[in-house]
Amino acid sequence: MMTRISLAHRVKVAGMVLATVSACGAPPIEPTLKPVPRPVPADLPDPDVAKPVSQKSAALRGYFNQVEQAQLGQGLMRRDGGGEDTPFTAAMLARNFERIAFYNEYNAQFTGKGEKTLMRRWERPVRMEIVFGDGVPPSEREEDGAAVRAYAGRLAGITGHSIKVGGGAPNFMVIIANEDDREEALMQAAARVPGVTQASLAALQDLRRDTYCIVAAYAGGPDPSTYTAAVAVIRAENPSLMRLACIHEELAQGLGLANDSPAARPSIFNDDDEFALLTRHDEMLLKMLYDPRLHAGISAEEAAPTIREIASELTGGPV
Q: What is the pLDDT of residues 133-143, one digit of tens each?
A: 999 999 999 99
* Tens of pLDDT, residues 137-160: 999 999 999 999 999 999 999 999
For residues 308 and 298, what is the distance between their CA atoms, to the nearest angstrom? Answer: 15
CB 180 within 8 Å of CB 54: yes
Q: Domain 90-315 maps to which CATH number in 2.70.70.10, 3.60.15.10, 3.40.390.10, 3.30.300.30?
A: 3.40.390.10
Task: Report pLDDT for 47.
Answer: 55
Confidence of residue 105 (pLDDT cuts 50, 70, 90): confident
Mean predicted lDDT score pLDDT of the chain: 86
Phi/psi class of residue 308: alpha, beta or left (left: φ > 0; alpha: ψ in -120 to 50)? Answer: alpha
Phi and psi, residue 163, nearest 5°: -140, 125
pLDDT value at residue 174: 98
pLDDT of residue 3 exceeding 80, the answer is no
25 C-beta neighbours (distance < 10 Å), count: 6
Q: How confident is the model at residue 50 (pLDDT cuts 50, 70, 90)?
A: confident
What's residue 18's pLDDT? 27
pLDDT at 16 over 70: no
Residue 272: per-residue pLDDT: 94
Say if CB 180 and CB 133 are below 8 A apart.
yes
pLDDT tens readout for residues 28-47: 434 444 444 555 455 555 55
Q: Residue 238 — left, alpha, or beta (φ > 0 → left; ψ -120 to 50 → alpha)?
A: beta
- Mean pLDDT over 122-126 rounds to 98
State the pLDDT at residue 48.
Answer: 63
pLDDT at position 108 is 61
Q: What is the dihedral of CA 155, 158, 160, 166, to 10 degrees?
A: 20
Q: What is the pLDDT of residue 27?
A: 42
Nearest to 179 by CA among 141, 214, 205, 151: 205
Opening angle at CA 175, ends 173 and 179, nearest 5: 150
Whole-angstrom distance, CA of residue 2 vs CA of residue 35: 43
- Confidence band (pLDDT; 50, 70, 90) for 22? very low
The answer to whether residue 26 scores a pLDDT higher than 70 is no
CA distance 130 to 188: 11
